[in-house]
Amino acid sequence: MTQAPPTAILSALAEEQGGLVAHLENPQQVQRAGRVFWSGLLHGQPVVLGLSRIGKVAAATTTAALIEGFGVERVLFTGVAGGVGPSVRVGDVVVGTGFVQHDMDASPLFPRFQVPLYGQTVFQGDAPLTALLVQACQAALRSGGVEGMPVAVHQGLIASGDQFVNGVQQSDAIVRSLQSHGHAPLAVEMEGAAVAQVCADYGIPFAAVRTISDRADDTAHVDFAQFVTQVASVYAHKIVNEFLLLL
């Protein structure tokens, strides 16, 4: 019997992947491009789990290796991000509808933020897959997050760049410059737009969810470190389980 192509589930860090590797049925380890991937079944669905590593280049390499090596049907990213939208709080989740590189600037050759030779600034998440992911988040977090805190599920633009945003001025500058070009981000992180671009190159549907670990302000590094170990994996696990049940 030939098996259906797998769903890839990527995160930057192991903590963001919700201990899913331990739940794999028939786990197989495969190494490619210096990365370790795990394939197997979760809820009867074929999946490949991988860690993108941190930053756009590492994430792009991981995504290309994953697509080339496993013939994946779709890519889901779960991780954490800094909240920069006014109503986006720590503990909320943001499902990305679009992805922009906040540090892309080939002006004056190309418009600011546009990815050169693509004629495109924002790479969209796959609409049907993103709608499923929103549904999965709502189901997973219906009874609240950690300690029953209510969790808002936002949908909107995620901005990626090779910076951990760790200051109000830094965060304001990113938000203001994107806004002045008509893009209002809800969250900042370091991989999503790279993964979205590679998936677009290969024509593979992509969706991403980020739990807000910090407000990208002066205490972001402290909030991030606590959140990623204590909360992120719980959310990721719940959301991925619901998502796979909906596929």
Closest approach of ligand ADE to the CB of residue 81, in Å: 5
Nearer to ligand ADE, 94 or 216 (CB): 216
Interaction of residue 244 with ligand ADE, rule CB under 6 A: no
Instruction: List the one residue from 93, 159, 165, 186 that touches ligand ADE (CB under 6 A).
Output: 165
Nearer to ligand ADE, 42 or 187 (CB): 187
Nearer to ligand ADE, 199 or 220 (CB): 220
Stretch that binds ligand ADE, among 30-38, 76-84, 97-105, 118-126 (CB under 6 A): 76-84
Which 180-239 positions form the footprint of ligand ADE (CB under 6 A)?
Answer: 188-190, 213-214, 216, 220, 224
92 is catalytic: no
Closest approach of ligand ADE to the CB of residue 79, in Å: 7
Interaction of residue 164 with ligand ADE, rule CB under 6 A: yes
Count Cα atoms within 13 angstroms, Cβ side, for 55. Answer: 4
Closest approach of ligand ADE to the CB of residue 46, in Å: 29
Note whether 80 and 189 are within 8 A (CB): yes
Closest approach of ligand ADE to the CB of residue 17, in Å: 15
Binding mask 79-118 for ligand ADE (x = CB under 6 A): -xxx------------------------------------
Contacting residues for 104 by C-beta, under 8 A, at least 6 apart: 112, 113, 114, 115, 121
Annotated active-site residue in 15, 92, 126, 214: 214
DSSP string, the chain: -PPPPPEEEEESSGGGGTTGGGG-EEEEEEEETTEEEEEEEETTEEEEEEE--SSHHHHHHHHHHHHHHH--SEEEEEEEEEE-STT--TT-EEEEEEEEETT---TTTS-TTPBTTTTBSEEEPPHHHHHHHHHHHHHHTTT-SGGG----EEEEEEEE-SS---SHHHHHHHHHHHHHTT--EEEEESSHHHHHHHHHHHT--EEEEEEEEE-SSTTHHHHHHHHHHHTHHHHHHHHHHHHHHH-
Nearer to ligand ADE, 153 or 220 (CB): 220
Q: Please, which residues bridge with residue 30 across strands? A: 37
Nearer to ligand ADE, 189 or 242 (CB): 189
214 is catalytic: yes
Interaction of residue 70 with ligand ADE, rule CB under 6 A: no
Binding-site ranges for ligand ADE (CB under 6 A): 80-82, 164-165, 188-190, 213-214, 216, 220, 224
Write out the catalytic residue numbers. Answer: 16, 214
